[in-house]
Amino acid sequence: MESEAIQEELQNLDVELKDVQGQISALIDHQDRLYERKSELKTLLKALAAPESPVASSGGSTAIENWSEAFEWDSRADDVRFNIFGISKYRANQKEIINAIMLGRDVLVIMAAGGGKSLCYQLPAILRGGTTLVVSPLLSLIQDQVMGLAALGISAYMLTSTSGKENEKFVYKALEKGEDDLKILYVTPEKVSKSKRFMSKLEKCHNAGRLSLISIDEAHCCSQWGHDFRPDYKNLSILKTQFPKVPMVALTATATQKIQNDLIEMLHIPKCVKFVSSVNRPNLFYSVREKSAVGKVVVDEIAEFIRESYSKNESGIVYCFSRKECEQIAGDLRERGISADYYHADMDVNMREKVHMRWSKNKLQVIVGTVAFGMGINKPDVRFVIHHSLSKSMETYYQESGRAGRDGLPSECILFFRSADVPRQSSMVFYEYSGLKNLYDIVKYCQSKSKCRRSAFFRHFGEPSQDCDGMCDNCALSSEFKEVDVSDLAKLVVSMVQETQAKDQRVTMLQLGDKLRNKHKDLSAELKRDEIEHLVVKLIVDSVLKEEFQHTPYSTNAYVTMGPLANQLLQGRKTIKMETSSKQIKKSKRSISFSGLELKLDELRKEISAADGNILPHTVLSTQQIGSISSQKPDSLQELEKIIGKLKTEKYGDRILEEVMRHDAVSEHIVEDPKKEGTCESRSRKRAKTQKDVVLVDSSDEYEEA
């Protein structure tokens, strides 16, 4: 054998071996996913087989405990809930979780964003006496919570890197001596893992029998499989080791089974009672819109949507892919008359905080952010979350879009999708564990024109499906799509990739589209570039093609190569079908709007917040409370107290009643217009009955033929 031939064969073998290695990695990934799914399905089966206790399960014991029965603290709990927190009734699982904590059990709470996890540990903190320690990952979250609790007259403090000496002295003394009132203490995980001084004071507090509860908020930060992994969270196991008898509650909105198991292990709470609430957010309307290749058109569409649907300064978020894009889009929106500013990790911390604060106080309508604008968002009345670019997974999309409507009122989540955004994301995530698989899952979500958007979340989190009730674009337009067999065109695409590879060349998605249109001129008249890219992406997520990546000094390029199922397609053993939709939602109807009195009360809460400086408007009155006051129009402090509880009535009752009376006096002079919109609450009640009202469309002229 000639040495040249040997060299060549060696080279070929190297390529083949690399390919086999790639396939092995893909198979291992696949095996991992199957194991994970298997475990999710087993849990699902268990949950279905035990309908009498579908929400709570005990990690250790099998005894069925009834967390809803009557307990001696019930009336005290009701009093604190209503008269201090101003909350008229518990939401799903809250009462049971509180009871389990009160009984001294360790508890794991999985509850969707905005489900009301804070109340689950804040209320027992007040009832149990002593001090509750809360570990929370972000300064801004801690500040929000402490500010909110202080406004309710609850003695809450924090120990963070920014705490002043005086504050620190007070807290340490309170922990050690127990003379001063310290109900709830917030710390960052670093305090627990790095400050020996803090841990020794905490120990003294514990030894004196005053450490009553430990709460780990955003507990998914413990897990490497979670999206916000924080190394210091891993060291929190020390808390259970040091204080085994103090009940621990871990709370998160992230639901996968793998993460749940991880948390239980890392926090050392094997016998915890687990409360898993549904991931469903029935008040959120999900939709995907085709994103134009022309940037200006996309911003025009976003600005038009905000102007038409949220003209009264209702809060929103626009998520972008890059820092540069954030700044650009925020500027573009401002040019179009929208009050918007940007937020990303490259900004100075003070600047970032300033933007966040202006937005929290409703002085800024829209934050245009990267994913850096994330976990610290505590604002309950975010009415819309728009994704200008694709998220990197279903899980991150669920988290990001879930920042809308935390107050339970109707809100909208719109994702602008364009196939050309896929390689941008894939070249960022391909090195992450299951990064590409996760990305392709959300791409499938975007490409589907028939499947319920909500059901994609249920599938992802291993939960039985629930009725969407027309609360996503696909359910609202279910009859408007068809499936087209595009196997022949797909074969042309794959052959082209094959030819390129045979010549030892690489091709990007963009180049592939151009090449195809150049070679098959007959096609280019019919097929737009977007459509070819759409097909290429579909072939990638279906494993007919695959993406490969190459680093350059400045970027990572994504190339399209033959995938595991390419030959099946070329040999006619696989067909490719694309979904097309003949109609598109053109514009949306705003889902809630404030009536006259609601607007006045909204102004009042902003005024009180501005005068105080330390209270956010939604802490003064929530949007729901504004709705209730407007529909019930209380005419005395006693009546008002029945709606918002004692504390808020004492603090703001006179001013609220003044607004109600003034509004009543004015409206007596106005002849009622029967077409005038009802109050926010009456409208949301109506929506609750016929959820389809919120569906962005109520007459066919709001659709446009594609």
Ligand X SMILES: Nc1ncnc2c1ncn2[C@@H]1O[C@H](COP(=O)(O)OP(=O)(O)OP(=O)(O)O)[C@@H](O)[C@H]1O
Contact 217, 251 (CB under 8 A): yes
Closest separation in Å from C-beta 262 to ligand X: 18
Per-residue x/- track, 113-142, Mg ion (CB under 5 A): ----x-------------------------
Tell me which of ligand X, Mg ion, none is bound by residue 590, counting a contact when its beta carbon lies within the kind-specific cut-off of 5 to 8 angstroms.
none
Of 81 and 206, the one with the shorter C-beta distance to ligand X is 81
Number of residues that bind Mg ion (CB under 5 A): 1
Closest separation in Å from C-beta 89 to ligand X: 6
Q: Is 119 in the site for ligand X (CB under 6 A)?
A: yes
Closest separation in Å from C-beta 406 to ligand X: 5
SS (H, E, C) 618-647: HHHCCHHHHHHHHHHCCCCHHHHHHHHHHH
Closest separation in Å from C-beta 378 to Mg ion: 7
**Closest by CA position to 287, among listed 406, 453, 166:** 453
Rg (CA), the chain: 28
Of 137 and 634, the one with the shorter C-beta distance to Mg ion is 137
**Closest by CA position to 446, among listed 587, 581, 287, 301:** 287
Q: Is 462 in the site for ligand X (CB under 6 A)?
A: no
The stretch among 107-115, 256-264, 308-316, 582-590 that binds ligand X (CB under 6 A) is 107-115
Task: Tally the residues of the chain.
Answer: 706
For ligand X, the binding residues in 369-388 under the rule CB under 6 A are 380
Of 136 and 427, the one with the shorter C-beta distance to ligand X is 136
Rounded distance between C-alpha atoms, residue 136 and residue 216, angstroms:
7
Contact 693, 686 (CB under 8 A): yes
For ligand X, the binding residues in 385-424 under the rule CB under 6 A are 406-407
Of 157 and 398, the one with the shorter C-beta distance to ligand X is 398
Tell me which of ligand X, Mg ion, none is bound by residue 111, counting a contact when its beta carbon lies within the kind-specific cut-off of 5 to 8 angstroms.
ligand X
Nearest residue to Mg ion, scored by beta-carbon proximity? 117
Tell me which of ligand X, Mg ion, none is bound by residue 388, counting a contact when its beta carbon lies within the kind-specific cut-off of 5 to 8 angstroms.
none
Q: Is 90 in the site for ligand X (CB under 6 A)?
A: yes
Tell me which of Mg ion, ligand X, none is bound by residue 423, counting a contact when its beta carbon lies within the kind-specific cut-off of 5 to 8 angstroms.
none
Single out the residue of 115, 226, 369, 513 in contact with ligand X (rule: CB under 6 A).
115
Closest separation in Å from C-beta 118 to Mg ion: 5
Torsion, CA 491, CA 494, CA 500, CA 502, rounded to 10 = -90
Torsion, CA 247, CA 174, CA 126, CA 626, rounded to 10 = -130
Contact 83, 225 (CB under 8 A): no
Tell me which of ligand X, Mg ion, none is bound by residue 280, counting a contact when its beta carbon lies within the kind-specific cut-off of 5 to 8 angstroms.
none
**Residue 27 Ramachandran class (φ > 0 left, ψ -120 to 50 alpha, else beta):** alpha
Number of residues that bind ligand X (CB under 6 A): 17
The stretch among 114-122, 231-239, 359-367, 650-658 that binds ligand X (CB under 6 A) is 114-122
Of 76 and 197, the one with the shorter C-beta distance to ligand X is 76
Tell me which of Mg ion, ligand X, none is bound by residue 591, counting a contact when its beta carbon lies within the kind-specific cut-off of 5 to 8 angstroms.
none
Of 91 and 323, the one with the shorter C-beta distance to ligand X is 91
Of 82 and 243, the one with the shorter C-beta distance to ligand X is 82
Contact 492, 527 (CB under 8 A): no
For Mg ion, the binding residues in 313-372 under the rule CB under 5 A are none
Rounded distance between C-alpha atoms, residue 82 and residue 486, angstroms:
60
Nearest residue to ligand X, scored by beta-carbon proximity? 116
Closest separation in Å from C-beta 378 to ligand X: 6
CA distances in angstroms from 316 to 228, 360, 387, listed in the order given? 22, 11, 11
Q: Is 263 in the site for ligand X (CB under 6 A)?
A: no
Single out the residue of 56, 116, 187, 273 in contact with ligand X (rule: CB under 6 A).
116
Single out the residue of 57, 118, 426, 591 in contact with ligand X (rule: CB under 6 A).
118
Tell me which of Mg ion, ligand X, none is bound by residue 379, counting a contact when its beta carbon lies within the kind-specific cut-off of 5 to 8 angstroms.
none
Rounded distance between C-alpha atoms, residue 639 and residue 103, angstroms:
35
Give the count of beta carbons closer than 10 Å to the beta carbon of residue 692: 14
Single out the residue of 114, 189, 369, 376 in contact with ligand X (rule: CB under 6 A).
114
**Closest by CA position to 215, among listed 161, 271, 142, 281:** 142
The stretch among 116-124, 180-188, 276-284, 442-450 that binds ligand X (CB under 6 A) is 116-124
For ligand X, the binding residues in 215-254 under the rule CB under 6 A are 253
Closest separation in Å from C-beta 237 to Mg ion: 22
Tell me which of ligand X, Mg ion, none is bound by residue 90, counting a contact when its beta carbon lies within the kind-specific cut-off of 5 to 8 angstroms.
ligand X
Residue 419 CB partners (closer than 8 Å, separation 6+) = 509, 530, 533, 534, 536, 537
Token output for 355: 């933007």
Closest separation in Å from C-beta 252 to Mg ion: 9
Q: Which long-range contacts (CB under 8 A, 24 or more apart) does 599-602 make?
A: 599/312, 600/659, 600/662, 600/663, 601/626, 601/629, 601/630, 601/656, 601/659, 602/626
Query: What amino acid is encoded at 343 in this protein?
Result: Y
Rounded distance between C-alpha atoms, residue 211 and residue 204, angstroms:
9
The stretch among 37-45, 86-94, 419-427, 697-705 that binds ligand X (CB under 6 A) is 86-94
**Closest by CA position to 600, among listed 637, 626, 574:** 626
Closest separation in Å from C-beta 285 to ligand X: 18
Tell me which of Mg ion, ligand X, none is bound by residue 622, counting a contact when its beta carbon lies within the kind-specific cut-off of 5 to 8 angstroms.
ligand X
Contact 189, 229 (CB under 8 A): no
Farthest CA pair distance, the chain = 104
**Which positions lie near ligand X, rule CB under 6 A?**
87, 90-91, 94, 111, 113-119, 253, 380, 406-407, 622
**Which positions lie near Mg ion, rule CB under 5 A?**
117
